[in-house]
Amino acid sequence: MNEPDVIQIGVDPVRFGQSFVGSDAFRALFQEGMELIEETAAYLDGPGREESRNLQRQASLVYASESMRLTTRLMQVASWLLVQRAVAEGEISPDQAQSEKNRVRLSSHDTPTTIAEYEELPARLRELMGLATRLHARILHLERLISEAGPAPRPAAHNAVADQLGMLQKAFGPAN
């Protein structure tokens, strides 16, 4: 393969966000996120509700606080995933998705819950909290990659290296 086959001047590079949201990796992330949301909802509406009734007063308050935090985090994840899927399916443009992110706030939440309070929570709630926190962190990372990539600068029309290679080829002939 020679240089002209590799270097294409005037062609925009592919933006990470556009390539990622159309990938199998994104579809797997979307599926994982939606399944976690369903699992969490089922837990909080069923066994979690029952488990929370059996907690002492302080642990019950921590449970309520953490379950609200968990629900908020997962709704942010769902919103982000749905916006990105809309981009992948061509329903909205990547630029529209960027403007939507002003309405969908992906923020990291520091929890004031102590380790002792956390350990009093039901094991399944702690597990769901951990899964949601890891998924949220991955999505925050992806959002930074997508946002920071932005539109790539177009290469300059004049390429000094290509000019030098051209002069060498004229002087010595093409490389074999």
d(CA 58, CA 144): 37
163 occurs within a structural domain: no
**Amino acid 127: pLDDT:** 98
44 occurs within a structural domain: yes
pLDDT (tens digit per residue) in 100-127: 766 666 666 566 789 999 999 999 999 9
One-character DSSP codes across 131-173: HHHHHHHHHHHHHHHHHHH-SPPPPPS--HHHHHHHHHHHHH-
pLDDT (tens digit per residue) in 121-174: 999 999 999 999 999 999 998 888 877 765 544 445 567 777 777 777 787 777
The whole domain housing 103 covers: 16-151
96 occurs within a structural domain: yes
90 occurs within a structural domain: yes
Nearest partner of 124 among 55, 44, 34, 11, judged by Cα: 44
Domain with residue 44: its CATH number is: 1.10.8.930
157 occurs within a structural domain: no
pLDDT (tens digit per residue) in 26-75: 999 999 999 999 999 999 999 999 999 999 999 999 999 999 999 999 99
43 occurs within a structural domain: yes
41 occurs within a structural domain: yes
38 occurs within a structural domain: yes
Instruction: Give the chain's domain count.
Output: 1
**Amino acid 78: pLDDT:** 95
